[in-house]
Amino acid sequence: MSKFRIRCWNKVLFLLHEIDIGYEIVSARPDPAKITVKWITFVGTKGLLKWALLKCPCGCGEVLNLSLMKNYEPNWVVKFDSKSRVTLSPSVWKNDGCRSHFFIRKGKVIWATA
């Protein structure tokens, strides 16, 4: 899907309350100031995603840099379903600052309890 189509489709899913977080894929790392809380920015190409950048959904404003490359520890695996919803695994657990712990499954932020 083109960048434009991904964005349009994500907007439809937002309207239907099917997702909390949409995504876009860019080839070069963007200015962190451009990362917004509703969008995951993947850096790379559809076939080879290298980084996932997202703003912490707790509202603390921190930009999280998640590696999708297996030679980096820790790293995450991203999946897109047929509706173009993002699932990241494992969960994201910040060990400093706000200490948020959450999952992103099918475009929804799911807070971990405990």
The contact pattern for Zn ion, residues 10-49, with x = CB under 5 A and - = no contact, is: ----------------------------------------
User: Is 112 a residue that touches Zn ion (CB under 5 A)?
Assistant: no
Min dist CB 40 to Zn ion, Å, is 15
97 φψ region: left (φ > 0), alpha (ψ -120 to 50), beta (else): left
User: Is 104 a residue that touches Zn ion (CB under 5 A)?
Assistant: no
**Taking CB under 5 A as the criterion, which residues in 52-81 touch Zn ion?**
56, 58, 60
Q: How far is it, in rounded angstroms, from Cα 79 to Cα 88? A: 7
Listing DSSP states for 20-72 in one string gives S-EEEEESSPPPGGG--TTEEEEEEETTEEEEEEEE-TTTT-PEEEEE--TTS
Q: Using CB under 5 A, which of 12, 69, 77, 98 touches Zn ion?
A: 98
Min dist CB 94 to Zn ion, Å, is 6
Given the rule CB under 5 A, which residues bind Zn ion? Answer: 56, 58, 60, 98, 100
